Structure 1
Amino acid sequence: MGAVMDVRRAAERYRGGEAQAGIESWHAFSFGPHYDPDNLRFGALIACNEERLAPGAGFDEHPHSHTEIVTWVVRGELTHRDSTGHESRVRPGDVQRLSSAAGVRHVERNDTDAPLTFVQTWLAPLRPGGTPAYEIVPGIADSTPYAVPEAGAMLHVRRLAAGERTAVPDGRYLYVHVVHGEVRLAEADLGPGDAARITDAKDLEAEATTQAELLIWELQG
Structure 2
Amino acid sequence: MPGLLTPAIDVRRADGRQSSRLSWLDSKHSFSFGTGRPDPANLHHGLLLVNNEDLVQPGTGFETHPHQDMEIVTWVLQGSLVHQDSSGHSGVIYPGLAQRMSAGTGILHSEKNDTYRLTGELPTTLVHFVQMWVLPDEAGVTPGYEQLEIDDELLSGSLVTVASGMDRHRDATAIRIRNRHAALHAARLRPGQQVTLPEAPFLHLFVASGAVSIEGAGVLARSDAARFTAAGGQRVVAVEPSEILVWEMHATAVF
Give identity over the alignment, percent. Answer: 37
Encode CA deviations 1:146-194: one digit per residue, 9 max, x unaligned.
3332122111111111111111111111110000001011232101111
Aligned pairs (5 A) from 1:55-134? 55-111=58-114, 112-134=123-145
Native 8 Å contact 2:203 2:232 kept in 1? no
Kindly indicate whether residue 14 of structure 2 is the aligned counterpart of residue 10 of structure 1: yes
| CA RMSD across the alignment | 1.4
Q: Distance in 1 between matches of 2:35 and 2:197?
A: 31
Following superposition of structure 1 onto structure 2, how do residues 71-220 of structure 1 map, counting pairs within 5 Å? 71-111=74-114, 112-140=123-151, 141-142=153-154, 143-149=159-165, 150-151=178-179, 152-186=181-215, 187-220=217-250
1:202 positional shift? 3.2
Alignment of 1:52 with 2:63, yes or no, is: no
Structure 2 residues without counterparts, runs of 5 or longer: 115-122, 166-177
Q: Which runs of 5+ in 1 are unaligned?
A: none
* TM-score with structure 2 setting the length: 0.83
SS at match of 1:145: strand
- Call closer, same or farther: CA 1:98–1:17 in 2, change over 3 Å: farther
1:111-168 superposed Cα distances (whole Å, 9 cap, x missing partner): 1221110000011112111000101112342233133321221111111111111111
Higher strand content, 1 or 2: 1
Matched residues in 1 for 2:162 and 2:111: separation?
A: 22
- AA aligned to 1:218 is E
Worse overlay, 174-183 or 29-38 = 29-38
Query: Residue 27 of structure 2 corresponds to which residue in structure 1?
Result: 25
Letter in 2 for 1:95: A
Select between 198-207 and 144-153 the one with higher mean Cα deviation.
144-153
- The runs of at least 4 aligned residues of structure 1 exceeding 3 Å deviation read none
